[in-house]
Structure 1
């Protein structure tokens, strides 16, 4: 049985943990990654009237996410900015890409830590005993490979940033940690990627496509492997009695879901963020007192 939240009253503050998708990062027309103001987190929080603490970071895996959550719960670490996350070696941030800086990762004239109705500090607007919600979106970087290493040597074994077993185990530990600290976790499945578009993107700087394809077997293995991590999120939710928002389904119900993705084939574009927003709002209306 897929878990649902009981209809009850929650504190008016939501925490969001995840990777660049949760952070609202898109690939713009110039080929640079930058966060948009109209991210699903901003739009959903504004629509539902929640204060949002967004601790999502570019390139974040579940292991990095656990570190962020531990610091957040401990209240004893400095605020991590979006630009600091670029040093993280895991996931898509490791693939050859357009050089990124703190400047092109933040919207023009925007504070790196604060946006209207969005809070990224560790303070609390609501110290009541009401349950606090924590939305989590991990997996897209965990399932990714070191494509440069595969290109150089396609004949040896290569492991993803986080193996499936470790992903499930660490995700479960994170959920227990949040529960023990008074949070009600909510998981999010992964938006689907476009395998051909993503393959073209991460090999664009000169990686050996033939070598990588010989290791993959076929380019659609990228889609299937990514999908397997999204499917495991349902299993994790079942195992830990945590509800799941099926973001992936919202995309796959579209006749051409790729139009909701950026040129890199993996980040939702502005239309994609609106699609995610509608799914979250529907979830909130069905399972929360809003």
Structure 2
């Protein structure tokens, strides 16, 4: 009929975004699949971005320095650079050589043949010499500071020039050696005084025989020993200075010996553990932890070294 509207069949039409009636199942399926793929991609990107070392907090390292997962830690604590882990194993005391300090899981250790490296021994000697020099430099700084204080107190040189007629007039003509010797003498006197106090305080306080020593060290009995004349007091002060200086030299020699021994043992211990990290290599478990197995011979060796 003319003027009658002809309706197109619904099957011939292609639904577009402007159509009010759309196939809901088709839209939901496509949208859910698209969203799931986006979520997976986001998860992969997030996982890759979170793969960073838990010690240095860096995601990238050297070309031969890989990120490994050696224990049961998950999340941000899962990965660690092999070099960072080996350094931690060598400097940390206790069982950190063979166990994770976070989850307490034992590492899977692979035994490899270690090649002796002479450069490590050279570094060991360099580190020992460096620490000894730092201790020596600290002592010289204190002596120089005391000598500087003496120089400020004797600005006009009255005290220094008073030694012109005596046997030490050579030092009095040169201000720097003179005040350095004054600083060294004062340093050893103070070292002997405080060393004697610490020595007496470390003894058994309940022993009545130590009461006189402690009273003398803490200054309660010193004033009773002073005579009335100023000349005798001055002579007694000189005697105390000489005694404390001798004690200071003895305590200084003892402290220096103990410090060098402690420095040597510390660096030797670290050197040995660094060599052991090259012999006992931590395996990468890729997030799948299982109880480790170690050869009994090597297990006994690590236990003997208090590393397992």
Q: TM-score range by the shorter chain?
A: under 0.3
TM-score normalized with structure 2 length: 0.18
Structure with higher Rg: it is: 2
Higher helix proportion: 2
Give the TM-score normalised by the residue count of structure 1: 0.18
